[in-house]
Structure 1
Amino acid sequence: MNTVHRRNIWIVAAGVLSALAYPQAGAGAEDGRFEKLSVYLERNIQDHDAEIRFEATGGDDGLAALKVSAPGARTVIELKTPDSKLGIRSLTLESPEPDDDRIVRADFPAGAYRFEGITTKGESLRGEAQLSHVFPKPAAFEYPRPDQKDVPATALTLRWSVPEGVASCVIVIEQAGSPYEIRALLPGSVKSFTVPEGFLRAGKAYKLAIGTVAKDGNRSFIEAGFSTARAR
């Protein structure tokens, strides 16, 4: 799912960010808990691949060690920063992407995942995050249609439909051969997005990905290409 993972530049419309996609295990680190914990599955409908992603954020102090245990107390992550005085405050970890999500689900069973951390000052942090094996239903493209050509490079408004119960949507637009991308996290009730002026270029190929995000964080992506009209 390369479209979903490139992060060279973010251009996100103000006011559309939502915390719905990141289930939290604790409200803050002052009581020995992480600021943010999440574990969720992500799949690409076209590529038929899937992965698991872990996210952990401590407090003001960096983490010197982090351990994550799956249901049944099996250790699935164990990291240390023995020679760093600052440690690592925030981590995002992801698995390989096999083309059969049953492989991911077999290795990472549904249930409570226990996070245990030690900060560089010796404080212990603990928390849990729930993993579900249920994927949300995908969105459907309305405009532009997959592989549509001569799409206007100015005043372009993307449109899509989503099933009921979606918590939020992720929109990703990439230009082929360019390091630039747009990535926006929108409430699930939003079904359109106007591309900021100046991002699209005439006569260029683009890839559009739309991900539906469930309340438990799991997400399903669809993606398609489109081309802008040549300058006249």
Structure 2
Amino acid sequence: MHRHNSWIAAIGALFAMTYPLAGAAADDGRFEKLSVYLERNVQDHDAEIRFDVTGAADGLTALKVMAPDERTVIDLRSPDSKLGVRSLTLESPEPDDDKIVRTDFPAGVYRFEGTTTKGAHLRGETQLSHVFPEPAAFEYPRPDQKDVSVTALTLRWSVPKGIEACAIVIEQTGSAYEIRALLPGSARSFTVPEGFLRAGKAYKFAIGTVAKDGNRSFSEAGFTTARTR
């Protein structure tokens, strides 16, 4: 997620599950999509809050977000931009104690206000929960397993009931090669495409459980493929 896992940081952006709001965006003064959720790394005990916002067809020149306790937690402006920003994702730092995040960002309704380049005013709200989904449990390969076959590898895991989705990431350490997939919550396995794995290489993999409210818990591990004989 942060200092140690920049590769997981990008997962949130890729797997951002924002939900359309009713109406025709700027035509009725509403954002197209809004979400706010918590994301944690189970092994490192750190967490962050993420905001995903999509305005209307026209870009935003101002965005303000108010927490349930009426504090302004986001206040962005780009008054000199002619295009503005239509969509953005914002994330907090990741303290090692998730209580810090929950204290600064209380559970409840977050209110969003925006202004477009054409002067339209957008408003919306969404709910933040402090409940994290239970994490996935690795079944195969086991964390730090060695001599894993480079052919016909199927990752297997178990997850608790009620999970909305599973986010999968596999990365070859020290390279740009990676696989990312967002699977239904009922998924319990993923077969790595032939040709992706190389012999004698170290890989990282992460499985994220995504709750219906958007909160997610990531478990990460590593494995090493068998060398060519």
Tell me the distance in 2 between the aligned counterparts of 1:185 and 1:28: 27
Q: Give the letter aligned to residue 156 of structure 1.
A: L
Tell me the distance in 2 between the aligned counterparts of 1:216 and 1:25: 15
Structure 1 consecutive aligned stretches of length 4 or more whose deviation exceeds 3 Å: 23-28
- What pairs with 1:2-21 in structure 2 (closer than 5 Å)? 2=5, 3-6=7-10, 21=17
Tell me the distance in 1 between the aligned counterparts of 2:71 and 2:208: 30
Q: Report what 2:18 is aligned to.
A: 22
Tell me, yes or no, if the aligned pair for 1:167 and 1:213 is still in contact at 8 Å. yes
Q: Report what 1:198 is aligned to.
A: 195
Tell me, yes or no, if the aligned pair for 1:23 and 1:217 is still in contact at 8 Å. no
* Equivalent in 172, 178, 192 of residue 181 of structure 1: 178
SS at match of 1:217: coil
Tell me, yes or no, if the aligned pair for 1:50 and 1:100 is still in contact at 8 Å. yes
Q: Give the letter aligned to residue 140 of structure 2.
A: Y
Shift of 1:4: 1.4
What runs of 5+ residues in structure 1 fail to find an aligned partner?
Answer: 11-16
* Equivalent in 127, 131, 136 of residue 130 of structure 1: 127
Tell me, yes or no, if the aligned pair for 1:23 and 1:129 is still in contact at 8 Å. no
SS at match of 1:145: coil
Q: Give the letter aligned to residue 114 of structure 1.
A: R
Q: Report what 1:36 is aligned to.
A: 33
Q: Report what 1:227 is aligned to.
A: 224
Tell me the distance in 2 between the aligned counterparts of 1:188 and 1:22: 16
Shift of 1:176: 0.7
Q: 1 or 2 for the larger relative contact order (CA 8 Å, sep ≥6)?
A: 1
Q: Report what 1:57 is aligned to.
A: 54
Pairwise CA RMSD: 1.6
Tell me the distance in 1 between the aligned counterparts of 2:117 and 2:74: 19
Tell me the distance in 2 between the aligned counterparts of 1:76 and 1:26: 25
Tell me the distance in 1 between the aligned counterparts of 2:80 and 2:151: 51
Distance 1:132 1:24, change over 3 A: farther
Shift of 1:23: 4.0
Q: Report what 1:14 is aligned to.
A: none
- What pairs with 1:68-107 in structure 2 (closer than 5 Å)? 68-107=65-104
Shift of 1:195: 1.5
Q: Give the letter aligned to residue 135 of structure 1.
A: F
Shift of 1:48: 0.7
Distance 1:27 1:51, change over 3 A: farther
Shift of 1:52: 0.3
Per the normalisation by structure 1, the TM-score is 0.91
Tell me the distance in 1 between the aligned counterparts of 2:228 and 2:113: 56
Tell me the distance in 2 between the aligned counterparts of 1:41 and 1:104: 9
Tell me the distance in 2 between the aligned counterparts of 1:198 and 1:88: 39
SS at match of 1:104: helix
Shift of 1:198: 2.5
Shift of 1:222: 0.5
Tell me the distance in 2 between the aligned counterparts of 1:105 and 1:124: 29
Q: Report what 1:215 is aligned to.
A: 212
Shift of 1:229: 1.4
Number of positions where the alignment pairs a residue of Structure 1 with one of Structure 2: 222
